[in-house]
Structure 1
Amino acid sequence: MLAALLWDVDGTLAETERDGHRVAFNQAFEALGLRWHWDHERYGRLLRVTGGRERLLAAMAEERDAPPTPAERQALARKLHDTKNHCYARLVYEGGIALRGGVAPLIHEARAQGVRQAIVTTTSRANVETLLARQLGPAWADMFDAVLCGEDVRAKKPDPEVYLLALRALRLQPRQALALEDSGPGASAAQAAGVPVLVTRSVYFPADPVEPAPAVGPGLHTREGWSPAPPPRRSARITLQDLASWHAHAEAGAAATARS
């Protein structure tokens, strides 16, 4: 039985990478007098590196005017990341980053039906709080039984640490939960923790290999394009009943495999 939804943030709750983080990184470069610029294609490649500071350090290896020593690069990465977070917060407050279609209705539906929920991300807590306060209101944290962020872990996705912490906080077994992710690394983190994962494809991860997954589709806003296809319903979006059905089917398959 489905007892909890475990939500990723970047790319899953909102297209934060496209509408927020890439824009904010470029604003931070400009604010610090750097001529660096991450276009859509380059940022997509850099997203293979999880973590903002880690991404900056990886990019510096390609910049001729990057600081020469590791210590100087670490210091610049910290300063850039702090500046980027301020720029990101401004973008959120100005309404430039919205939740993806179908996300808010599903959060409210799960809450109304007593299904527990958690934020399970390795992005920073400040960015999570800024986004969700703007989109779900000042009492957003009341909708979630646990909020696990980058500051809570030593290793970021695809390491399963954040999922293991969430399961411990919720006192649940992995198969009682369903993760919602948009990318291969996120799906791998959930799967390594034993949590089945629903994949809602995002702009930067339109075709990541994510098998096995109970279902993969273009977003919670539509019933079209999902594999396996959800059953016909009056709702135009994916519902909690759809998630429970996919979860139950995955559980039945896992049980059959265990018996064979």
Structure 2
Amino acid sequence: MLTALIFDVDGTLADTESVHLEAFNHAFAQEGLDWHWDVPLYTRLLEISGGKERLLHHWRMVQPNLKEVDGGAVRDTVARLHEIKTAYYEQVVGAGALSLRPGVLALMQAAYDEGVQLAIATTTSPVNIAALLRSAIGPDWRSFFLAIGDASNAPIKKPHPQVYLKVLADMRLDPAHCVAFEDSANGLQAATAAGLATVITPTSYTAQHDFGAALRVLPDLSHLNLAQLRQWLSEQQAARTRPRGAAGR
């Protein structure tokens, strides 16, 4: 039985990371910092989930003796940089710079038509989600999703499973009957820790990650349908319940 599809956002619904990178560099320039993240550096930084966490991690790399002083000056600077970055990202995405990855919208529509629930489980902010989906789906995008987990209501970042556990609790659904969609190793770890079979669609930023625990690894969702998902889920469940040694008899 397939009851819900749960989607990550950045990299999964849309290949957003190049725009996020542009937005971070814009924030650095606005604040007069001499930081500039190139693609190789940003690819490594993506191993840290969460924009503010990524900023702080980088700051500590370039300034190992960094300490919180002056009543939280470091925290305030990170928050200001992230606010500038988020505003820039929202503006660029709102202008139509991004579209959903191949097959995403068709799969969502098929699920919605067949009564399979849809949900979002991401470490990004509500503003970033709204900017992308308002542009891609329309102003009523929220009506398509039974539950939304994000940085505002599940603050512990992936690979911790908090956001998936919250979404599953909100939907009151058994993870054994749901499928998650991710693009990164951190996302895969979070989803599988919550008991979810996970389909991975890597991007150029995550192609080198270890996806050994995934249900399937696909280039995108353009050739995926609900019948295939049901079959894969059934096969996985059967494999888990098969007695040891039975496959070789």
- TM (norm. structure 2) is 0.93
Judging changes above 3 Å, is the alpha-carbon distance between structure 1 residues 68 and 254 closer, same or farther for their aligned structure 2 residues? closer
User: For residues 41 and 197 of structure 1, what CA distance do their matches in structure 2 show?
Assistant: 26
The answer to whether the 8 A contact 1:11-1:203 is kept is no
Q: CA offset at residue 96 of structure 1?
A: 1.1
Q: How many residues align?
A: 243
One-letter amino acid matched to 2:33: L
Counting only pairs closer than 5 Å after superposition, residues 84-95 of structure 1 correspond to structure 2 as: 84-95=85-96
Q: Which runs of 5+ in 1 are unaligned?
A: 222-236
1:78 is matched with 79
Q: CA offset at residue 27 of structure 1?
A: 0.8
1:247 is matched with 233
Q: C-alpha offsets along residues 143-177 of structure 1, whole Å, 9 cap, x if unaligned?
A: 11011101112311000111111111111111011
Q: Which runs of 5+ in 2 are unaligned?
A: none
Judging changes above 3 Å, is the alpha-carbon distance between structure 1 residues 172 and 81 closer, same or farther for their aligned structure 2 residues? same
Q: Secondary structure at the match of 1:244?
A: helix
Q: Secondary structure at the match of 1:34?
A: coil
Q: CA offset at residue 259 of structure 1?
A: 10
| Correspondence 1:188 to 2:174 | no
Judging changes above 3 Å, is the alpha-carbon distance between structure 1 residues 39 and 257 closer, same or farther for their aligned structure 2 residues? farther
Counting only pairs closer than 5 Å after superposition, residues 172-251 of structure 1 correspond to structure 2 as: 172-221=173-222, 237-251=223-237
Where does structure 1 differ by over 6 angstroms across 4 or more consecutive aligned residues?
none
Q: Secondary structure at the match of 1:150?
A: coil
Q: C-alpha offsets along residues 62-105 of structure 1, whole Å, 9 cap, x if unaligned?
A: 335x9953232211100000000000001101211211111111
1:114 is matched with 115
User: For residues 73 and 200 of structure 1, what CA distance do their matches in structure 2 show?
Assistant: 35
Q: C-alpha offsets along residues 92-125 of structure 1, whole Å, 9 cap, x if unaligned?
A: 0121121111111111111011100100111111
User: For residues 196 and 258 of structure 1, what CA distance do their matches in structure 2 show?
Assistant: 21
One-letter amino acid matched to 1:4: A
Identity over aligned residues, as a percent? 39
C-alpha RMSD of the superposition: 1.8
User: For residues 259 and 131 of structure 1, what CA distance do their matches in structure 2 show?
Assistant: 48
